[in-house]
Amino acid sequence: MELDNIKDALVGIPTLGGISIEQRKRLTIAVELVSNPSIIFMDEPTSGLDARAAAIVMRVVKNIVRTGRTVVCTIHQPSIDIFEAFDELILMKRGGQMVYAGELGQHSSKLIEYFESIPGVPQIKENHNPATWMLEVSTPSVEAKLSIDYSILYKESHLYE
């Protein structure tokens, strides 16, 4: 959990000498791990963190996954580094309908392959964040422009079981 350097620190308030927001998030995760859960739900584990702190938290999350636990995170507009730390994705549109559920693949290759296989969906530009691109091409306005419903396409795809 990378908490050794703060083992004697008071939690307190960050601006008044307490531990940082990033350290606080890692401590919260550690407290949850004490009960040895098989699945952990995290709501926006990187929100409010700078890129460095978010990377540290995600490294901790990956280490938890390596112990055999399942970690489910909600996250919005992640950086490319954060996005590619995830193994699988469930993308839902307004109303809770699934648009994609499956592996991301190395460098989001499986996600990109799925969306680019849909006629009319613009290809991802070189060096573009796959998370940003996915959100751009899966909007209701793109659905309307292409006369498609992503949730129906997903249900008809090889990914849906």
Answer with the residue of higher pLDDT: 8 or 161.
8
The percentage of the chain sitting over the pLDDT mark of 70, rounded to a whole number, equals 100
Q: What is the pLDDT of residue 70?
A: 96
Q: What is the pLDDT of residue 93?
A: 95
pLDDT category at 10 given cuts 50, 70, 90 is confident
Average pLDDT (81-86) is 92
Number of neighbours of residue 19 by Cβ within 10 angstroms: 19
Give the chain's mean pLDDT.
93
pLDDT category at 121 given cuts 50, 70, 90 is very high
Task: Write the pLDDT tens digit of every residue in 35-78.
Answer: 999 999 999 999 988 888 898 899 999 999 999 999 999 998 89
Average pLDDT (120-137) is 96
Q: What is the pTM of this model?
A: 0.85
Report how far residue 43's alpha carbon sits from residue 90's, in angstroms, rounded to the nearest whole number.
Answer: 14
Domain boundaries, the chain: 4-75, 88-155
Helical spans, DSSP H, in the chain:
21-33, 51-66, 80-83, 109-116, 130-137, 140-146, 150-155
CA 101 to chain centre: 13
